[in-house]
Amino acid sequence: MRRSISLFSAVFLTWVTGLSGAIPAGIASRIAQTPPPDPSGSWLDDNMPNWNQPGAAIPAAPQPESGSNLEYCMQSFRQATLPEDALVQAAGWTLTGAAQVFNDTTVITGMANTDGMCRPLRYQVFVFNKGAFVGTLSPILMDSRTDGSVFSVDLYGADGLSAQFNRYESGDPLCCASRESRVFYEIQTEGDTVILVPNLPAATFSSPDAQ
């Protein structure tokens, strides 16, 4: 059964951090350093090796490079409602958008900053299976209204999902990318190993909204 998690519910961070605010060692060991972002979506056009690895830690959110707008956009944040939400928050991310859950699979979006209109900057989409982190939808961090930024995720099955990414060409207005790319992902299990596998290269086509 598929369900979307709404914005307002009880916060799970107390469960994660405790009264001291410290991150338990078991969670801290699952947090990895986030690589610097690449502004290009060119990875979508390549048959690149899978960046997701079995047992990998949740990438840690980067520090804002030129100040943070998060304090001005708090009303748009999503409060934690799931254990997976709490894991993403413990890695330093701010939750944005609705969580998606299908049976044992959960998809969560986290951002490190926003622009002046509260659009996500330095954001990533995290996938979990049975509470364990299995991968991200992009090998790099994304900024809203840039090439390679994800704008739609469809968790259509317990082991399958797809994502659509903006593809900007020279001369495209920031509001409206003229193309988009779609990637299908599969959650593959082999023994005790579970990993998110992208099907690349992406299918790229003209955006239906392009004039």
The whole-model pTM stands at 0.80
Q: Domain of residue 20: give its range.
A: 2-206
Can you give the pLDDT at residue 6?
Answer: 37
Whether residue 180 lies inside any domain: the answer is yes
Mean of pLDDT values over 125-152: 97
Cβ atoms of 100 and 85 within 8 Å: the answer is no
Name the strands in the sheet holding 2-5, side by side, starting at the edge strand that comes first in the sequence: 2-5, 94-102, 105-114, 120-129, 132-136
Whether residue 6 lies inside any domain: the answer is yes
Please report, rounded to a whole number, the percentage of residues in the chain having pLDDT higher than 90.
Answer: 69
**Statement: residue 26 has pLDDT above 80:** no
Which of the pair, 105 or 15, is modelled with greater confidence?
A: 105
Which of the pair, 119 or 23, is modelled with greater confidence?
A: 119
Can you give the pLDDT at residue 210?
Answer: 57
Distance of CA 179 to the CA centre of its chain: 21
- For residues 166 and 179, what is the distance between their CA atoms, to the nearest angstrom? 7
How many domains would you assign to the chain?
A: 1
Whether residue 13 lies inside any domain: the answer is yes
Cα dist from 64 to 16, 31, 198, whole Å: 24, 18, 28
**Statement: residue 12 has pLDDT above 50:** no
Distance of CA 88 to the CA centre of its chain: 10
pLDDT grade for 39, boundaries at 50, 70 and 90? low
Whether residue 211 lies inside any domain: the answer is no
Mean of pLDDT values over 160-166: 98
Can you give the pLDDT at residue 75?
Answer: 86
**Statement: residue 8 has pLDDT above 80:** no
Can you give the pLDDT at residue 10?
Answer: 37
Q: Among 71-85, 96-110, 143-157, whose mean pLDDT is lowest? A: 71-85
Mean of pLDDT values over 60-82: 88
pLDDT grade for 4, boundaries at 50, 70 and 90? very low
Can you give the pLDDT at residue 157?
Answer: 97
Can you give the pLDDT at residue 179?
Answer: 96
- For residues 109 and 96, what is the distance between their CA atoms, to the nearest angstrom? 6
